[in-house]
């Protein structure tokens, strides 16, 4: 088949099999939820179904290792896509397994919860896989719309509705900006295909510099919003605080990683020829994001808000890798995203387990956790230290390689600033650790245990954090193979 310009198109639907599986699972989940009473299904069937679908998608996506094919010139299936397919499906599995008890207690619409996570995973994967601006835009919206709804799902929490409204309104504005920016880019380059944009920009903009710069500003702002980079971060703390905890975890993991994946795909491919026009912008927001995220985090009392600001800071580090875009920094970014996901999920899964037991989100509520549940305290400590960049944990090594790449790319001042901010961040992570280890528990000092799935998820993530900190070579090699397809 050919399109109207005469390009041959191949509609090999099997290339999209993982996402098809996930989408079908999502509809099955909603259906099973709707007819649960008629079909006499237990409540546990929904998470089971979702996990089975995701595992199937993960396994199937391994079929295309080291292939380089595209679907109808819209979607690329290469190592980069495969890397993020595996990463995002794995993240969704972890979130679902780790939070099903929380969901039963605190979520209003259980079926929708699982279905939205599944659908947003599809959006996230296509953000990394798209090779056409419009496909990428649609993927962003699939992810965003799922999350707008998911944020509002918390039962009995008035903050949830407020957060969802804020997130939706501001998200809509950001999407509009992004779309406007993309249309300007189309005007300059004459195509929505990544490969053709790259060619057109490399050949010169022909006096269209101003529209290009305006378009780049809008694109960076729109993506900056989605990644909650400063100064477009205002909604993040409220959205994080109001959303149900598993959704907060999911936003901070998949949503961030997907935006960064898209960022890298765009700025290392179609927009690379315009490097001098956008490099300063990204460097600027990277500095602002690192600085503000880490400094404001110092004053937080609520664990969700603390993690919100800490994740803003983390995005700052990642944007640094976009600034210095190169083969070295791209693989460092993927490695860091991998390490960040594992660590951040470890912290969130532990916090969810903690919340299931105590129902508190205040940092002071963690008092004496080292005595009532030393294992959980250890998981949170390892996670926090890793986020803060303590040696022998994932956070140090991945961050170190990231900073090295930035310094290597000629942005020494940026790397220096990042090292200093990373030191600052240790202080607020320590505030949580201090509560757990230094003080006696308030009230009930009995020991308690996690649920089996709580143990399972936290143990796997804890092991991941330590293993990545000590021996990251396998993931680094994979990240390297995944990014090699970008710069061609």
Partner 1 sequence: MLTVFLFLPAAGALMVALLPRERSHEAKWVALAFSALAFLTSIAVFLRFDRDAVGYQFVDRFEWIRAGTAGFSIQYVVGVDGLSAALVLLLGLLTVVSVLISWNIEARTKEYFAYLLLLETAVAGVFVSLDLIQFFLFWELELVPMYLLISIWGSGRKEYSAMKFLLYTLAGSAFMLVGFLMLGFAAGTFDIAALTAQPPTEALVPLSLIFWAIMLAFLVKLPVFPVHTWLPDAHTDAPTAVSVMLAGVLLKMGGYGILRIALPILPNEARDFRVALAALAAVSVIYGAIVTLQQKDLKRLIAYSSVSHMGYVLLGVSAMGALGLSGAALQMFTHGAITGLLFVMVGLVYDRTHTREISEMSGLIHRMPLIGTVMLVAGLASLGLPGMAGFVAELTTFLGTLEAHPAATIAGIFGVVLSAGYILWMVERVFHGPPTERWAGLTDATAWWERTAMAALVLVILAVGIYPALLTETIAAGVAPIAQIVGAA
Contact residues for partner 1 (CB under 8 A)?
327-328, 331-332, 370, 385, 390-392, 396-397, 400-401, 403-405, 407-408, 412, 415-416, 419-420, 422-423, 426-427, 430, 434, 437-438, 471-473, 476-477, 480-481, 484
* SS3 (DSSP) at 74: coil
Closer residue to partner 1 (CB): 106 or 399: 399
Would you tell me how many other CB atoms lie within 10 Å of the CB of residue 55? 14
The first and second tokens of residue 263, run together, are: 């960022």
Nearer residue to partner 1 within complex by CB, 214 or 390: 390
Closest CB 370 distance from partner 1, rounded Å: 8
- Measured from the CB of residue 472, what is the shortest distance to partner 1 in angstroms? 6
Q: Is 6 helix (H, G, I), strand (E, B) or coil?
A: coil
Least separation in angstroms between residue 59's CB and partner 1 is: 25
Q: Which is nearer to partner 1, 131 or 399 (CB)?
A: 399
How many whole angstroms separate alpha carbon 223 and alpha carbon 315?
A: 12
The least CB distance from residue 393 to partner 1, in Å, is: 10
Considering beta carbons, is residue 172 or 374 the nearer one to partner 1? Answer: 374
Rounded least distance, CB 94 to partner 1, Å: 25
Residues 280 and 126 sit within 8 Å (Cβ to Cβ): no
How would you label 105-142 residue by residue, b for 16+ Cβ within 10 Å and e otherwise?
ebbebbbbbbbbbbbbbbbbbbbbbbbbbebbbbbbbb
Q: What are phi and psi of 78, to 5 degrees?
A: -140, -170
Report in angstroms how near the CB of residue 275 gets to partner 1 at its nearest.
20
- Residue 48 or residue 400: which is nearer to partner 1 going by CB? 400
Minimum distance between the CB of residue 423 and partner 1, rounded to whole angstroms? Answer: 4
> Considering Cα of 251, then 345, then 319, then 338, what sign does the dihedral take?
negative
Maximum Cα–Cα distance across the chain: 73
Which residue matches tokens 């079929």? 63
Nearer to partner 1, 58 or 370 (CB): 370
Give the nearer residue to partner 1 in terms of CB position, either 91 or 381. Answer: 381
Q: From CA 306, how far away is CA 432, in angstroms rounded?
A: 10
């Amino acid at each position: 088949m050919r399109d109207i310009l005469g390009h041959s198109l191949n509609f090999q639907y099997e290339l999209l099999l993982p996402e098809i599986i996930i989408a079908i699972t999502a509809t099955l989940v909603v259906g099973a939820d709707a007819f649960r009473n008629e079909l006499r299904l237990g409540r546990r069937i929904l998470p089971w179904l979702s996990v089975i679908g995701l595992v199937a998608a993960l396994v199937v996506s391994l079929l295309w290792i080291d292939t380089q094919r595209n679907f109808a010139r819209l979607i690329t299936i290469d190592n980069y896509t495969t890397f993020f397919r595996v990463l995002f499906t794995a993240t969704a599995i972890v979130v679902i397994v780790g939070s099903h008890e929380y969901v039963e207690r605190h979520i209003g619409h259980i079926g929708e919860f699982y279905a939205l996570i599944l659908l947003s995973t599809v959006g996230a994967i296509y953000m990394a896989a798209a090779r056409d601006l419009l496909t990428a835009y649609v993927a962003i919206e699939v992810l965003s719309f799922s999350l707008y709804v998911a944020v509002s799902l918390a039962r009995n929490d008035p903050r949830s509705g407020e957060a969802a409204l804020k997130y939706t309104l501001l998200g809509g504005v950001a999407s509009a900006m992004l779309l406007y920016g993309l249309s300007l880019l189309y005007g300059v380059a004459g195509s929505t295909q990544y490969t053709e944009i790259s060619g057109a920009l490399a050949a010169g903009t022909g006096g269209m510099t101003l529209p290009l710069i305006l378009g780049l500003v809008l694109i960076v702002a729109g993506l900056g919003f989605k990644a909650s980079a400063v100064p477009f971060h205002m909604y993040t703390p409220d959205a994080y605080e109001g959303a149900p905890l598993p959704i907060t975890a999911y936003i901070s993991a998949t949503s961030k990683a997907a935006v960064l994946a898209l960022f890298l795909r765009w700025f290392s491919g179609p927009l690379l020829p315009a490097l001098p026009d956008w490099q300063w912008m990204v460097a600027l927001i990277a500095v602002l994001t690192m600085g503000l995220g880490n400094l404001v985090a110092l004053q937080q009392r609520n664990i969700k808000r603390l993690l919100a600001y800490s994740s803003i800071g983390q995005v700052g580090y990642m944007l640094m890798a976009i600034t210095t875009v190169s083969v070295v920094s791209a693989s460092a970014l993927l490695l860091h995203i991998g390490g960040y996901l594992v660590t951040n999920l470890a912290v969130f899964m532990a916090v969810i387990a903690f919340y299931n037991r105590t129902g508190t989100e205040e940092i002071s509520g963690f008092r004496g956790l080292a005595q009532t549940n030393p294992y959980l305290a250890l998981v949170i400590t390892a996670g926090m230290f890793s986020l803060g960049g303590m040696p022998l944990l994932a956070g140090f090594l991945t961050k170190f390689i990231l900073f090295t790449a930035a310094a290597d790319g000629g942005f020494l001042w940026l790397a220096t600033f990042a090292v200093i901010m990373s030191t600052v961040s240790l202080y607020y992570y320590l505030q949580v650790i201090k509560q757990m280890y230094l003080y006696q528990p308030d009230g009930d000092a009995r020991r308690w245990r996690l649920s089996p799935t709580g143990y399972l998820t936290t143990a796997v993530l804890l092991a991941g954090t330590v293993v990545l900190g000590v021996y990251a070579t396998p993931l680094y090699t994979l990240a390297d193979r995944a990014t090699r397809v970008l710069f061609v």
